[in-house]
Amino acid sequence: MAKSIDVSDLDIYYGDFKAVEGVNLTIRARAVTAFIGPSGCGKSTVLRSLNRMHEVIPGARVEGKIMVDGQSLYDPSVDPVAVRRQIGMVFQRPNPFPTMSIFDNVLAGNKLNSKKMSKSDAEAIVERSLRHANLWDEVKDRLNKPGMSLSGGQQQRLCIARAIAVEPQVLLMDEPCSALDPISTSAIEDLIHELKSDYTIVIVTHNMQQAARVSEYTGFFNLRATGEPGRLVEFNETKKMFSNPDREATEAYISGRFG
């Protein structure tokens, strides 16, 4: 089941440094939400706070509230490892486990979660996840070859297969195409379109055309000045954001007048 996420009054710190201030937004289930904005405005920081990846950095902490389908993500009773299984992350650079086969890479998350499974269950999960990631036809005859033997675009789809093999409800993507060529980028964008019928997707991208192509909602983050915390300047439907944004600063950024 895809989930919605409600963020209120979110401040995020690295030690004493307040990196992000006062973020309020709702991420809809079964839709793609894009985060855009200039470098250093806190897009990745906010993204990482959505599955508690942020807190693995020493000194990093969050204030405010993040509710996932009505449950507080930062409640002391919530297990961060379980959160990261429900809310998966795909990173900028494809990061398959270098010593593992394609088959084992897909199952890596399931094994970490120490689910015992039969060979036939494992095969079914691998096939389903690779099909879902639009990679099955390209790799089905070489599942025992190393994950690293694939092209960059295939490796990124392998990482997406690994993320969805544990059946998360939300997929967070931090610039998933920035290390890929245009053809692989287009394959990932097609995949994002297909995945949104099952998942809630949040994508950080520097590419505004990509945000316009793949998302239904867009958040524009910005900094008032260097050293100030990042803020969410505007959150809107993507169509409106790119045609008639509410804020002057959004218009300036989208039209290339800064950033």
Q: Which residues here bind ligand ATP, judged by CB under 6 A?
A: 14, 17, 19, 37, 39-45, 57, 230
Shortest gap between Cβ of 250 and ligand ATP (angstroms)? 15
Q: Which class for 118: exposed (0-12), middle (13-18), buried (19 or more C-beta within 10 A)? A: exposed
Output 40 or 146, the one with its CB closest to ligand ATP.
40
**SS3 breakdown of the chain: % helix, strand, coil, rounded to 5?**
35, 25, 35
Shortest gap between Cβ of 214 and ligand ATP (angstroms)? 17
Contacts of 104 (CB under 8 A, 6+ apart): 97, 111, 147
- Taking Cα atoms as reference points, which of 110, 160, 109, 108 lies closest to residue 134? 160
Greatest pairwise CA separation for the chain in angstroms:
57
Shortest gap between Cβ of 66 and ligand ATP (angstroms)? 16
Output 37 or 94, the one with its CB closest to ligand ATP.
37
Tokens encoding 74: 């930062």
Output 19 or 107, the one with its CB closest to ligand ATP.
19
Output 14 or 74, the one with its CB closest to ligand ATP.
14
Shortest gap between Cβ of 57 and ligand ATP (angstroms)? 5
